[in-house]
Structure formats: C-alpha cells, structure tokens
Amino acid sequence: MSKLKIGDIVGRKSYNSDILFKVVDIKKENGKETVVLRGICYRLEADAPESDLIVQPESYVREYNDKINNKINIKMRSLQPSRYGYMAKKKFYRDLNINSGLKFQRPGKVLHIDGDDDYLNTCLEKYKELGIEAVGVHVKEKDQPSRVYELLVQHKPDILVLTGHDGVIKDENGYSRLDNYRNSKYFIEAVKEARRYESNYDQLVIFAGACQSMYHKIIEAGANYASAPYRVLIHALDPVYICKKVAFTGIDRIISPEEAVSTTISGFKGIGGIETRGKYRDGYPLEPYK
C-alpha cells in the first residue's frame, strides 16, 4: 500500500527534486502504482513510481517557493515600466482635470477557465490586484471542450483563458505526436469550440495551454496566444500577464507578439502568439453619482 497520500508535496529523485509537485492521484494498474503529479509553481503534469518520489519538508517547500518568487520579481523588475503595467496603470488611475472632462475606463473582461483550483485562485487574486474584471471557473482539462461554449454564452468575455496542466512524454516522437501530450488535445478542442462561438480574433482574444503544450497546434486551432513554443515550463501567472497586456491596450492599437510575450515570466520560449488588437476603451462622461 502506498505511503504517499493525496496532497503531499514531493520531488523526483531522478531529477534531484528540481521541481516540486503536489500528489493529485495514485493509480494502480497491472499491479503497479503510478503517482500523478502537478507542479506547485509550474503548470506541469507528470507521473512517477512511488520509489522515485520523496516527500519534501515544509522548510524546503518554503525555500523553493521563495526562490521561484524571487526569480519572478527579478524578471518583473527587469522589464521596462511601459512594458510592465506602469503606463497602463498610470492611465487607469490617472488624475483627470477639468479640461479633459471626466472619463471612465473599461479594460477587457476575462473569463479564466483553469484545470487547477489553487492556480485559479492565485490568478483571480492577481487580476483583482491589477484592476481587471475576471470570472474564474474551475474545469478539468478534459472537460473544457464540452464546457467552454456555455461559459462563453453566460459570461461574454473579451479575453478567454484555457489553461491548467500539461506535459509531454519525451521519446523519439515526443514533440510531433499529439497523443504524447497529456492535455494539449483538450486545449486544442476547447479553442475550436470557442471559435465556434466567436470566430473573430479581435472580438475574442484566446490564450490556451500550459507547460510543454503543443504550441503550433493550439495556434492553428484559433488561439491568439499559446504555450509552449520550446516545450518548456510556464509559470502559473503567465496567462494573467498576457491578459493584462491585452486588457489595458487600447482598441485602436495592435499588439505585436514580441511586445505581449515580453511581459510574461517565461518569455518567448514559453509563450508565443500572433498580432492582436487591444481591448481597452475610454468612456465619457463619468456620472457624478457613482
């Protein structure tokens, strides 16, 4: 009987515990137990035999989280202010004088569908911090194709996120065969369903994918942005930073993929996309009673 339990934080001995995972399932097939894992900071899904796993002490988990967060903070500080929110935030909260009139602001609205409930809550907190209206729904990756259309009809967003966890089996055909990806096929089908709802790339902006996802197939399905061009790990908040760039860029401007990707934690190896129109609008006048 397995000594591990659901919720344990573990590392893989064969990888020197370079990535920490949460145990999400323990499967028994043909007399062998396989432990299903999901990254605690990266959107990676994997599995391993129990013999390759070691439970991590709380002190190391804290150290690991601090290390990842410090890395992210350094990355964010390295970006030019105009690329990372400063100008958008300044515009959003700017003082309006009597000559310019009283305007109000409408950043794009986000529907964020996530296969990981913990990551979803983390993303929703970040959206709130950034001043973006966002609705979050926890839907397992395999169920996203069947749920996305009804959720789009219900919430009518400007920007859609389809994410969760993914991973690729690294054999000789690993990158070229869709069946070698854990959840890419679900993201692809969900994007197709979303495009059945709205085919116009400017009307509905779509981000889809997770760690090591089959990037080019997700883009071909109809996503504006996707992961992962170099089949690397992406951070849990990468979709949020793409949404932020789109939500706070004016509808009169086209965002280059290089500009959008430069705001993410993972960069061009983790995230890519196509030219996309911004979703931010100014309004006038602001009523005096609000």
Instruction: Say whether both 108 and 58 belong to one domain.
Output: no
Q: What is the CATH number of the domain that holds 61?
A: 2.30.30.140
What phi and psi values does residue 257 have, to the nearest 5 degrees? -60, -35
pLDDT band at 78 (very low <50, low <70, confident <90, very high): low
Query: How many other C-beta atoms lie within 10 A of the C-beta of residue 135?
Result: 16
- So what's the pLDDT on residue 175? 87
First-last CA distance in the chain: 61
- Over range 241-258, report the average pLDDT: 97
pLDDT > 90? residue 277: yes
Q: Tell which of 28, 47, 78 closes a domain.
A: 78
Q: Is residue 290 part of a domain?
A: no
What is the token pair recorded at 102? 């009283």
Give the mean pLDDT of the chain.
89
What phi and psi values does residue 193 have, to the nearest 5 degrees? -65, -40
What is the spatial distance between Cα 175 and Cα 132, in angstroms, rounded to a whole number? 35
Q: Do residues 22 and 9 lie in contact, with contact meaning Cβ atoms separated by under 8 Å?
A: yes
What is the token pair recorded at 133? 């209206």
pLDDT > 90? residue 83: no
What is the spatial distance between Cα 49 and Cα 211, in angstroms, rounded to a whole number? 21
Instruction: Say whether both 139 and 114 belong to one domain.
Output: yes
- So what's the pLDDT on residue 96? 37
Instruction: Say whether both 65 and 168 belong to one domain.
Output: no
Q: For 242-269, b where at least 16 C-beta lie within 10 A, e where not — what string?
A: bbbbbbbbeeeeebebebbbbbbbbbee
Q: What is the pLDDT of residues 205-240, one digit of tens each?
A: 999 999 999 999 999 999 999 999 999 999 999 999
Q: Do residues 136 and 124 lie in contact, with contact meaning Cβ atoms separated by under 8 Å?
A: yes
- So what's the pLDDT on residue 2? 60
Query: Structural domain of residue 128, as residue ranges?
Result: 81-283
- So what's the pLDDT on residue 172? 61
**Which position has the token pair 């202010």?**
81
Tallying the residues shown for the chain, one arrives at 290
- So what's the pLDDT on residue 141? 98
Q: Between residues 102 and 55, which one has the greater pLDDT?
A: 55
- Over range 145-165, report the average pLDDT: 98
Q: Tell which of 35, 51, 78 closes a domain.
A: 78
- So what's the pLDDT on residue 76? 66
What phi and psi values does residue 15 have, to the nearest 5 degrees? -115, 15
Number of domains in the chain: 2
Instruction: Say whether both 34 and 146 belong to one domain.
Output: no
Q: Between residues 78 and 99, which one has the greater pLDDT?
A: 78
Q: What is the pLDDT of residues 160-208, one digit of tens each?
A: 999 999 999 876 667 889 999 999 999 999 999 999 999 999 999 999 9
Percent residues over pLDDT 70 in the chain: 89
Lowest pLDDT segment from 27-31, 118-122, 209-213, 281-285: 27-31
What is the token pair recorded at 248? 């706070």
Q: Is residue 65 part of a domain?
A: yes
Instruction: Say whether both 279 and 158 belong to one domain.
Output: yes
- So what's the pLDDT on residue 290? 64
- Over range 126-143, report the average pLDDT: 96
Q: Half-sphere exposure of residue 19, counting CA atoms within 13 Å on the CB side? A: 20
Instruction: Say whether both 1 and 141 belong to one domain.
Output: no
- So what's the pLDDT on residue 98? 42
| Amino acid code (one letter) for 274 | I
pLDDT band at 80 (very low <50, low <70, confident <90, very high): very low
